[in-house]
Amino acid sequence: MSLSARVPSGADTYKFIPKLYSNKVVEAAKSELVAWDAITSEWRDDLTRGDIIYIPKTNTITATEVVVGSKASSLNAFATAAVTLTMDQWYEAPHDIDYMTLRQKGDIAMENEAVTECSYAIKIAMDSSVCALFSSLGGYSTSAYGTDGQTLDDNLLLYLKQILDEANVPMKRAERSLIVDPSGLSDMLKIDKLVAADYTSRGAIDNGIIGNSVYGCVVRVTNNLTAASTGAYGCMLHKKAIASAAQIYDSWKKEYEDLHVRRYQSEALWGVVELQDTFGIPFFTRHA
């Protein structure tokens, strides 16, 4: 349906009828960024200089039965290669606004919106670098557990938990995460015991986090998983499965008077690395 013609003709064409512009901005759709918070970044204080952090690891030793009159051989809990965490990912997200636009703009805070979008661009790059490591955890060097496009059901999720438990992964609920995409969440919401009030700390989904689940972990939901063919690579993991550290994580603005623009920029320099292979097990989700 279209509006009828105005009387007198041309009242709007010749600018007698004002046009109003909203001072509210609709933000671009964004993924929930949950992967970076699900892993450990306790080595950030070691980054005053250098581009590599060597993280020593211990190995499990086994007690032996005492033999009277015999000296037992000394055991070695430090015969494991260190993990190398390299600061090798450097990303920037710049946004320029010229002086004329800054002077003539209306009530919309364009500067704030530019900073918000630049910051999000950096965060999604950092989150993606974590998700990209999921498929190599747990000895699944080229794939993940199950069938690409599978439905997440109770048996599958219990199996993932069992694998971590049998690998002596610490069972502290707050340190374990199940990271899925929306298709995985849809599948899980059909499992009565997951969503029942007796099994969850809260029923609502808040910033991609459902809360504690009967599977002994925090359930995190994101659209930022790495795609497989049909589904994506989800993961159940302990926070020490992957190590991360950010050496630069900053936002700034700078005047370029000779170019007549002001630049708003976010940038980060960081690294991620698999820390404990058996502390995570990847699986396929139903839909990418």
Mean pLDDT of all residues belonging to the chain: 87
Residue 267: pLDDT band with limits 50, 70, 90:
very high
CA distances in angstroms from 163 to 134, 199, 210, 233, 280, listed in the order given: 15, 21, 22, 17, 9
User: What would the two tokens of residue 136 be?
Assistant: 């190599």
Domain boundaries, the chain: 110-284
Beta-carbon contacts of 283 under 8 Å, excluding residues fewer than 6 positions away, are: 144, 145, 146, 150, 152, 156, 160, 233, 234, 235, 236
Judge whether 245 and 41 are in contact, CB under 8 Å.
Answer: yes
Residue 211, pLDDT above cutoff 70: no
User: For 5-30, what is each residue's pLDDT tens digit?
Assistant: 775 677 788 887 777 666 666 666 77
Judge whether 248 and 269 are in contact, CB under 8 Å.
Answer: yes
Judge whether 144 and 284 are in contact, CB under 8 Å.
Answer: yes
- Quick one: average pLDDT of 69-96? 93
Residue 47, pLDDT above cutoff 80: no
Residue 201, pLDDT above cutoff 90: no
- The values of phi and psi at residue 221, to 5°, are -120, 135
- Quick one: average pLDDT of 156-179? 93
- CB 171: neighbour CB atoms within 10 A? 13
